[in-house]
Amino acid sequence: MIATIRGTLLECQPNLAVVETGGIGYEVHVPLTTSEKLPALGQEVKFFTHAVYREADQTLYGFADREARDFFRLIIDKVSGIGPRIALNLLGQLSLPTLKSAIAAGDVGLLAKAPGLGKKTAERIVVELKDKVLPAGASIVPVTAGQAASTTGTASSDYQDALAALLTLGYKATDADKAIRQAVDALGPDAATEELIRKALGR
């Protein structure tokens, strides 16, 4: 099993990257949340990977960090009817902290927004993974307008507070998550709530 791949980024599309290492270019399928973090072409990049081998083809899936890769594996291993493509769409729709919050809160509507994922499949994800995304004894409040998900070790309170602020301003959940995600990438993980909000709003 290929666990990681490091090399030169030759090509980048929203859901596909080509990495050259050892004179070979590897196609790596990535979620949007990973492609957003990729460096410029020609720079070095590293992916945490999951390889899928079938009789007709071999596919490599890559993620910016180990936690996202491991959660991808959890989805395809534990949820019936979910293959790598749909799992990749789900991880590309929402940041991992928000995705875990949505599953823990049973937010089927938010999960079902991922391409190829209907309400029934979203319900299966909640049933199968709800107990696996929370530490023992922890609880999460649904991420809705005017509310912030409680901190569970997977997301900072600043991130969730900034996300809740955008929801209050009328942003759709997926758009708000993307805006705060990009703000964190620009400012760093220690940015305060107010800084994240200003960056997300372009101020």
The two counts, helices (H) then strands (E), for the chain are 9, 5
Neighbours of 144 (CB within 10 A): 15
pLDDT for the residue 173: 78
**How big is the CA angle at 166 (ends 164 and 168), to the nearest 5 degrees?**
70
Which spans in 48-95 are helix H?
A: 66-78, 84-93
State residue 29's pLDDT score. Answer: 97
pLDDT in tens, the chain (203 residues): 789 999 999 999 989 999 999 999 999 999 999 998 899 999 999 999 999 988 888 899 999 999 999 999 999 999 988 999 999 999 998 888 889 888 988 889 888 888 888 889 999 999 999 888 865 444 444 444 333 333 333 346 788 788 888 888 888 877 888 888 888 888 887 888 888 888 888 86
Closest alpha carbon to 199 in 174, 182, 178:
182
pLDDT at residue 151 in the model: 33
Q: Specify the pTM.
A: 0.74
Domains of the chain: 4-64 (2.40.50.140), 67-200 (1.10.150.20)
Positive or negative torsion for Cα 192, 94, 104, 50: negative
